[in-house]
Structure 1
Amino acid sequence: MKHLVEVEPATETAGPAYRNARAKDGLLQPPPGLHSCWDIFRASVEKYPNNPMLGRRSVVDGKAGEYTWVTYKEVYDVVMKLAASISKSGIKQGECCGIYGANCPEWIISMEACNALGVCCVPLYDSLGAGAVEFIICHAEIQIVFVEEKKITELEYWDTHESFWWAIQ
């Protein structure tokens, strides 16, 4: 099965353009009633509340063990509590929230809490260096940041910044 199809040939200055084979004639439209990432997550919770959604793999003596899973409903419940906390802190729809940390279940939970409130989620990647993280925070007008606990010490020099620093575990 072919997954990509060429939709525009190469030119003198650019290579060919490709698109997913299912969208070869144009972008796919979302199903009715699903207009945002939040709608998709909420619909998934309604349809699959007891299915596993996020997993964490234990590591014992340097060896990967079994995954421990949380269901869509369990994730939704935490997301709603976190969204309420974000809302109480004064963050409004359309404002920006940064997430600084490794990909993990808490990253997804933080993102979905932002989606629930219509808050723009801005990933902060330290692979570009601490200066890039500071640049993004300042230029994206980020109001609040979720920070992985082990990265908090990297950000101590920003404690005068007006953003709130929250630790996620």
Structure 2
Amino acid sequence: MSYRIGSGIDFHQFAEGRDLWIGGVKIPHHQGALGHSDADVLLHSICDALLGALSLGDIGVHFPNNDPRYKDIDSKILLKETVELITEKGYVVVNIDSTLCLQEPKIKKFVPAMQETIAGILGIANGDVSIKATTTEEMGAIGRQEGLMAMATVLLQKK
């Protein structure tokens, strides 16, 4: 059996007047993430991990931030299209391990909905999607609540 591992990371600034989407779920917060798309850091890091596992470049190669087709696009669509690329190469997702890094808002109660959303798109069980969160103990830009970050690691298996 052939396995491939990929990792991804994404950062976005917070901005007024934007919705906050994390893991395909709208999170109530006074600020949202700034980006060309809906700026969902978790889904973007997962896309990069999937693409990286098969040496297919990164999210910017496939969904450039200067392409008007992707302006304010729902990142669940980007994840679906990324999964199609993985499937075309003959691979399936085994599991995902991810970490969100943000001071606020607290996301623990939203994790089950994020797992369900991501697992549904990837065609895996909710329990195969790990989502953890941490703060920076108020250090740096994330600690000052200027933005947020997500990291993801994926395991793929050849069908």
TM-score, L = length of structure 1: 0.26
- Greater relative contact order, per chain length (Cα 8 Å cut-off, separation 6+): 2
Task: Name whichever structure is richer in helix by fraction.
Answer: 1
Q: Larger radius of gyration, structure 1 or 2? A: 1
